[in-house]
Structure 1
Amino acid sequence: MSQRSGQATSGDELLDRTERSEPLDSATEAFVRHRNLLFTVAYEMLGSAADAEDVLQETWLRWVAVDTAAVREQRAYLVRIVTRQALDRMRTLGRRKESYVGPWLPEPLLTAPDVAEDVELAESISMAMLLVMETLAPVERAVFVLREVFDLDYDDIAEAVDRTPSAVRQLAYRARAHVAARRPRGPVSPAQTRAALRAFQRAVETGELQSLLDILAPDVVALSDGGGVKHALLRPIVGADKVARLLAGGWWEQESARSVEPVQINGGPGLLVRVDGEVDGVVAVRVEDGFVTGAYHVRNPEKLSRVAAETAVSR
């Protein structure tokens, strides 16, 4: 990132300065105050934390060139910048996905326990919802994120996506209907989620087929992403029997030193998988009605940088 003098600085340096209570100019203070929100907007549009960070850097470079004294609503203005940069980045990301080796899954985030308490935020960053949003056109995805998740008004969204307010209303309607037809079923209670994750973890650790069948929904879906570097499924596996057999023997490489640890991934339950003490992957778990309906296994090493420490997300 860049300070007003033009000297490069990073987002981490800005946060370090804030933690040390160093004085910040008004533009920097506003950016730091909204940084987690801006990251979340970019991440929900892109499904990639690395690309979201690049978008934040571009947003900062444009923000420091603005006469902030003339900005009436800084939050909306910053969201407008980050949305435009994310839309530009979508084109690059789309080309990368076309040449991606094997199935593509969003980059997982280790999130704090309190994220799950904001049900709408947790659902919006969940693996299942991010995959649903992948089926939207870029501008539709931006409109859906800004309206349904962050509750921006249509005028602000129109400026962000370079459309008229009436066009944005139509885009929002179409995106909402598209997502509603494909979105996961409603969330379950935290107690149900914890119980299901514990049962799923025990079943995975033991590889006992009946235990897996007891916790998997009949229409459970398993997907994995190895990025062409690690072993992964070539296509989704659907159905309790097939997924149970996969988890019992075929999904994991058979290292004796494999361990799994319950964590929160993208605002929901998940398992952190280690082999010989090193992170080998994560499994984000979708729980509905007390059963596991989705298991999203990410092993691509390039996508595991955000599972060692919590990533802050916010609305």
Structure 2
Amino acid sequence: MKDPALFEQTRQHLLAVCYRMLGSLAEAEDAVQETWLRYDRTDTTDVANIPGWLTTVAGRVCLDMLRSRTSRREDALDDTARERRGEDHDPAAEAELAESVGLAMMVVLDALAPAERLAFVLHDMFAVPFDDIAPIVDRNPAATRQLASRARRRVQGAPLQPAPEAARKREVVDAFLTAAREGQFERLLEILDPDVVCRGDALASLRGGPDTIGRRAVAERFNGTAQAARSLLVDGEFHAVVAPYGRMLLVLRFTVVDGLVTEIEAVMDPESLARMEFAAGTA
């Protein structure tokens, strides 16, 4: 029987690793629990570095969980709701973890293949040697290094510094989202062009309804909503995204002319979302 105190000393570290791998506090806690179970039933007498061993075990658990995910991207909202109803769910802890990673980074990590994500997270974020990561992903150290390198290029590949006009656009998008969340109807009217149009792709229209035209109609549609939306650099411009736990569900593409929103396009199609570039470090 293992001493639980030794495991508890590494629990927060393991939780941080698993959260970056899985993007969900509930799933990360499940992974940490599974790591404990594997630790408890394994003879670690000859293991010199228990924290390092636990980290690699947690990585293997997370990799298995990532590979076994079968839910479609558009079902993640339902997963989010279920997690929020969980008796043990801690919104404050979730928010703290999310803040420590950043929305943009979680979005980019979610787009990586499971093995790439593991190699990048363990090596670049937690300094685990490639020799220790290689057995987890069934590759040699050189191939594992290439996995991390490909992931690194994707994380760093999006433009990190927006153009000045993009920064000005962000002010408008942020003002719109703030007014929407806080139910500031008159403020929404001030931000919207008189002939503003809100439209969506086929999936967004199916879920959100038909096109909305005109300042007052669009303001009524968004007033008191957008609680989960945040501005993010998408394809070099600031738009609004809904990405619980880093899982991209919706992009609201804003067209801004002379400081007023003239069009809002809702994009939910998974293939369209997969083609977009999200800049890490801009959340």
Q: Which TM-score band applies after superposition, normalised by the shorter structure?
A: 0.5 to 0.7
In structure 2, the partner of 1:206 is 184
Output the TM-score relative to the length of structure 2.
0.57
CA RMSD of aligned residues (A): 4.6
- Give the drift of 1:233: 5.2
Question: What are the within-5 Å matches in structure 2 for residues 52-131 of structure 1?
Answer: 52-93=28-69, 95-97=70-72, 100-101=74-75, 110-111=92-93, 121-123=100-102, 126=103, 128-131=104-107
CA contact (8 A) 2:119 2:147 kept: yes
Q: Secondary structure at the match of 1:294?
A: strand
CA contact (8 A) 1:132 1:183 kept: no
Alignment partners' CA distance in 2, 1:96 and 1:85: 18
- Give the drift of 1:297: 6.6
Q: Larger C-alpha radius of gyration, 1 or 2? A: 2
In structure 2, the partner of 1:150 is 126
Ranges in structure 1 where 5+ consecutive residues have no aligned partner: 5-24, 187-192, 215-221, 235-241, 253-257, 261-270, 272-281, 299-315
- Give the drift of 1:33: 1.6
- Give the drift of 1:245: 8.6
Higher helix share goes to which structure?
Answer: 2
CA contact (8 A) 2:18 2:62 kept: yes
**What do residues 18-41 of structure 1 show as CA deviations (whole Å, max 9, x unaligned)?**
xxxxxxx6x412321221221222
Question: What are the within-5 Å matches in structure 2 for residues 1-315 of structure 1?
Answer: 4=1, 27-93=3-69, 95-97=70-72, 100-101=74-75, 110-111=92-93, 121-123=100-102, 126=103, 128-182=104-158, 200-202=177-179, 204=181, 205-207=183-185, 208-209=187-188, 212=191, 248-251=219-222, 282-283=227-228, 285-286=230-231, 293-296=239-242
Report the identity percentage: 31
CA contact (8 A) 1:139 1:161 kept: yes
**What do residues 156-198 of structure 1 show as CA deviations (whole Å, max 9, x unaligned)?**
2223333211111111111111222247659xxxxxx9xx978
**What do residues 71-105 of structure 1 show as CA deviations (whole Å, max 9, x unaligned)?**
22222111111111111111322x1226x547789
**What do residues 120-176 of structure 1 show as CA deviations (whole Å, max 9, x unaligned)?**
x433xx2x3222222211100111111222222222222333321111111111111
How many matched pairs?
Answer: 214
In structure 2, the partner of 1:217 is none
Alignment partners' CA distance in 2, 1:110 and 1:211: 34
CA contact (8 A) 2:176 2:188 kept: no
